[in-house]
Structure 1
Amino acid sequence: MPPIADVVPVAALLALLVTAYAHPRGRWEAAIGIAAAAAVLATGVLGTDALLEELRHLGPVVLFLVTILVVGDVCGRSGVFAAAAGLVRGLGRDHPRPLFTGVFVLAALVTTVLSLDATVVLLTPVVLVAAASAGVSARPGAHACLRMANSASLLLPVSNLTNLLAMRHLDLTFLGFAAVMAPVLAAVLVTEYAAARVLFRRELTEEADPAHAVPRRPAVPWLPVAVVTLMLAGFAVASPLGAEPFWVSGAAALVLAVWGLRRGHLTVPQAVHAGHPAFAIFVLSLGVVVAGLALGPLGELVHDALPDDTSYGGLLLVAVLATVLANLLTNLSATLLLVPMLAPLGTPAVLAALLGLNIGSGLTYTGSLANLLWRRTLARHGRRPSLREFHRVSLVVTPISLLVSVSVLALVAH
């Protein structure tokens, strides 16, 4: 029988994964997370020093998550996403293809700037409304939001928590990360767009329903746009100075929250809830559980599967391994487990892992919490997608995008 120190972390992780999929009320999410972490700590597999070190590394990432969620929420309440969708909605007045192109670009931009959660939770409903008002099918645009939430989260460290978690293992600044990943992202976007045009060719060749008039375009709330722009510039300036991103996103969240309160866009309880503090506790707990898991048989198994070099074959193996782990454990858990093991191989190996953790997580619903959030968002709007429809896209596009991204990374990362 395996020792309890090996069994408990596995059981704790399973409990956290079930909780993530069920998505209960915040208090239950936090309580289960704390209980799982406490169970792992009770086995003694993690000492006090190891626990404090894990929390020290995770703390800034979680603070960034909380503050960027507030930024995204205020932007959504103030009409930033509605205004952006209005800019592209008029493109679909006569034909769905221009509207889809605009939505595709918008989803990639929102993911890059405000993280993938903003794309699946805040932008997707607006895209559904835009498609309905233009009289075209919502399926291409909805899937564009999902694909971009994962695949477009490559460019900046702040685009995905997986990137932020990996940054301490990379010898790159904020702009240095973007410079390496820019050509990779460009190749992925071309691949994803071309694939979507083929897979949704029927919807994208139908004529728009002339009975649907394009409503008046919402006004752009310029202060949130200006704050987000300054926030991005702040990330670039703060990175070489060694400042954590949460200081910049925290300042932006404070400014937008005060502005939103004064304008009546949200209340104080809504501002607090926007940061999802229970989920922040859940993420910290997940880090503790995975740290304990990494010291057991699963950690040894993953370590033995790693390549010895960063040749093209080695990078491809890392990306595939990251994809498998992301779809078994979710990409956040997989990042905490895999990336520290890859650090000795250097920056190219860690970046290859991010390809699997970001693009590869779009393979199945279990690969990313964003996938589950997207499905719930559609269900709340009466558009629950079938598993067949989801995998018709994901099983075709994900492997191609992953292969393209690894090939470009192999050319630029060295």
Structure 2
Amino acid sequence: MAGIVSAALLLAVLAFAVVRPRGLPEAAVAVPAAMLVVAAGVVPFEAARARTADLLPVVGFLAAILVLAQLCADEGLFTAAGNLVARVCGGRTGPLLGGVFAVAALITAVLSLDATVVLLTPVVLATAARVGARPRPYVYACAHLANSASLLLPVSNLTNLLAFTASGLSFTRFAALMTLPWLGAIAVEYVIFRRAFAADLAAGAHPPEPEPQQQPRSEPEPRSKPDADPEPWPEREETGVPVFTLVVLALTLAGFVLTSFAGAEPLWAALAGASVLAVRALGQRRTTARRLVRAANPLFCLFVLALGIVVEAVVDHGLGSGIGTLLPDGSSLPDLLAIAAVAAVLANLINNLPAILALLPVVAAAGPGPLLAALIGVNLGPNLTYVGSLATLLWRRILHVHGMEPELGHFTRLGLVAVPATLAVSTVALWGSLRLIGV
């Protein structure tokens, strides 16, 4: 009975997160569900407290990286990237697709998949409109690369952070082992996109329109209410490269490496980078404390903590033993392929975040190889269905806001080709990395 109740609660939490009726936050159902399983004794209070303590550094990092990404957008980093791609492509759709792939892969790797979905997708839409290209290949690339390009670093995806914490690997060793799988997934996606969107790419484009010039002002415009928080806060009008922001990002990335060697959480490096940009933006009166808190999305962070407790209940009452029976316990290539496939299926059944939480107790005990194979599965698998990743669901909302609706049939057909191919190539690349680098 405890297993049935736990599974029902998990499905209710995920269904609510997918639909979000009346725009209510995901935590509106997840928090009561977590309280219920603890109050009913399905998850002992001490176990729930331990799970929350384990997740707090991960959730804290998520909040810090969301703020960092939003501040980068406010500084014009994403707009500058879009302008650069538009200039380089010169109205040619092939280079434009390659530029979008490169920018999306780098932003996903460094600033996480949420930055690609929420902040880059609107810029890509605007860039495609500016050069007269059909937007579908480029916005679909944002969705796919938000998942596929999140393999590289522990900070690229919340699933990575959870796996990294349990892996015992250093930041650099994790990145070294996942470099070939990351490159393999991106390369396969690019080849598939060139064929799947051949008609859209053949339609062509035109040379980019001139970038809007900022009109000089003798003095800043006064604000009637200095403490007001206008929404949304506009991006900076400058179209040049925000050098200061890029320097802060580079130092933050270096900080991730240093904190790993020091045995500290990557949270502190992300918090330092976000703090530098936040203090600068506050000092220049281009943001407010309220906007920064909103960027951290505290309700979504609370949802992740509550979801961890609900998943704990499901794992402890049936799912954990079922996964343990189903997964192989070796590190051979067939074993890694089987683990990645099972993880991908599980991600599409219950979403990738609950999937990695359910898989970790089993694959972490088997060693870094099986753990990273499971990570490949839960990161690449969501490109098959909308429900596989919260980021993909968010991508759909972003397109809807901007007047473009993705086609379910096209998304699914694209995923049926891309997911098996990227899973196979990335897992073989992981097997090769394990043989070359070791753990």
Task: Using structure 1 for the length normalisation, give the TM-score.
Answer: 0.96
Aligned-partner Cα distance in 1 for 2:60–2:199: 44
Select 2:315's aligned residue among 273, 280, 294: 294
Q: Kindly provide the amino acid, as one letter, of the partner of residue 411 in structure 1.
A: G
Q: Kindly provide the amino acid, as one letter, of the partner of residue 125 in structure 2.
A: L
Shift in alpha-carbon separation, 1:197–1:27, aligned structure 2, 3 A: closer
Where does residue 398 of structure 2 map in the other structure? Answer: 377
The superposition leaves residues 165-188 of structure 1 with CA deviations (integer Å, 9 ceiling, x where unpaired) of: 011221310000011111111122
Aligned-partner Cα distance in 2 for 1:26–1:63: 24
Where does residue 216 of structure 2 map in the other structure? Answer: none
CA contact (8 A) 1:334 1:357 kept: yes
Aligned-partner Cα distance in 2 for 1:148–1:106: 10
Select 2:364's aligned residue among 339, 343, 366: 343
Shift in alpha-carbon separation, 1:72–1:106, aligned structure 2, 3 A: same
Q: Kindly provide the amino acid, as one letter, of the partner of residue 211 in structure 2.
A: P
1:58 aligns with 2:79: no
The superposition leaves residues 230-254 of structure 1 with CA deviations (integer Å, 9 ceiling, x where unpaired) of: 1000000110211001111111111
Where does residue 165 of structure 2 map in the other structure? Answer: 168
How far apart are 1:27 and its partner, in Å? Answer: 6.5
1:19 aligns with 2:12: no
1:386-405 alignment, distance < 5 Å: 386-405=407-426
Select 1:215's aligned residue among 211, 215, 224: 211
How far apart are 1:290 and its partner, in Å? Answer: 0.3
How far apart are 1:88 and its partner, in Å? Answer: 0.4
Aligned-partner Cα distance in 1 for 2:25–2:117: 23
Shift in alpha-carbon separation, 1:94–1:253, aligned structure 2, 3 A: closer
How far apart are 1:310 and its partner, in Å? Answer: 1.5
Aligned-partner Cα distance in 1 for 2:147–2:25: 27
Shift in alpha-carbon separation, 1:25–1:248, aligned structure 2, 3 A: farther
Where does residue 270 of structure 2 map in the other structure? Answer: 249
Q: Kindly provide the amino acid, as one letter, of the partner of residue 94 in structure 1.
A: G
Unaligned runs of 5+ in 1: none
Where does residue 431 of structure 2 map in the other structure? Answer: 410
Aligned-partner Cα distance in 1 for 2:21–2:282: 28
How far apart are 1:26 and its partner, in Å? Answer: 7.8
Q: Kindly provide the amino acid, as one letter, of the partner of residue 202 in structure 1.
A: A
CA contact (8 A) 1:92 1:136 kept: no
1:31-50 alignment, distance < 5 Å: 31-50=28-47
**SS state at 2:167 partner:** coil
How far apart are 1:76 and its partner, in Å? Answer: 1.0
Runs of 4+ with deviation above 4 angstroms: 24-28
Select 1:235's aligned residue among 256, 278, 281: 256
CA contact (8 A) 1:90 1:99 kept: no
1:311 aligns with 2:347: no
Q: Kindly provide the amino acid, as one letter, of the partner of residue 372 in structure 2.
A: L
How far apart are 1:314 and its partner, in Å? Answer: 0.8
Aligned-partner Cα distance in 1 for 2:45–2:138: 48
**SS state at 1:94 partner:** coil
Where does residue 83 of structure 2 map in the other structure? Answer: 86
Aligned-partner Cα distance in 1 for 2:167–2:23: 33
Aligned-partner Cα distance in 2 for 1:335–1:213: 45
Aligned-partner Cα distance in 1 for 2:389–2:25: 20
Q: Kindly provide the amino acid, as one letter, of the partner of residue 209 in structure 2.
A: A
How far apart are 1:28 and its partner, in Å? Answer: 4.4
Select 1:189's aligned residue among 180, 186, 191: 186
The superposition leaves residues 336-358 of structure 1 with CA deviations (integer Å, 9 ceiling, x where unpaired) of: 10112111211100000011010
Where does residue 321 of structure 1 map in the other structure? Answer: 342
Where does residue 366 of structure 1 map in the other structure? Answer: 387
Aligned-partner Cα distance in 1 for 2:170–2:38: 34
Where does residue 122 of structure 1 map in the other structure? Answer: 119
How far apart are 1:34 and its partner, in Å? Answer: 1.4
Aligned-partner Cα distance in 1 for 2:399–2:82: 17
How far apart are 1:128 and its partner, in Å? Answer: 0.4
Select 1:103's aligned residue among 100, 103, 106: 100
The superposition leaves residues 299-320 of structure 1 with CA deviations (integer Å, 9 ceiling, x where unpaired) of: 2222210113121111111001
Unaligned runs of 5+ in 2: 213-237
CA contact (8 A) 1:325 1:334 kept: yes
Q: Kindly provide the amino acid, as one letter, of the partner of residue 138 in structure 1.
A: P
Aligned-partner Cα distance in 1 for 2:91–2:43: 61
Higher mean displacement: 340-349 or 113-122: 340-349
1:151 aligns with 2:154: no
CA contact (8 A) 1:134 1:214 kept: no
CA contact (8 A) 2:319 2:358 kept: no
Q: CA RMSD in A?
A: 1.5
Aligned-partner Cα distance in 1 for 2:284–2:134: 35
Aligned-partner Cα distance in 1 for 2:69–2:206: 32
CA contact (8 A) 2:25 2:300 kept: no
Where does residue 264 of structure 1 map in the other structure? Answer: 285
Aligned-partner Cα distance in 2 for 1:143–1:26: 24
**SS state at 1:172 partner:** coil
Aligned length: 410
How far apart are 1:71 and its partner, in Å? Answer: 0.3
How far apart are 1:25 and its partner, in Å? Answer: 7.0
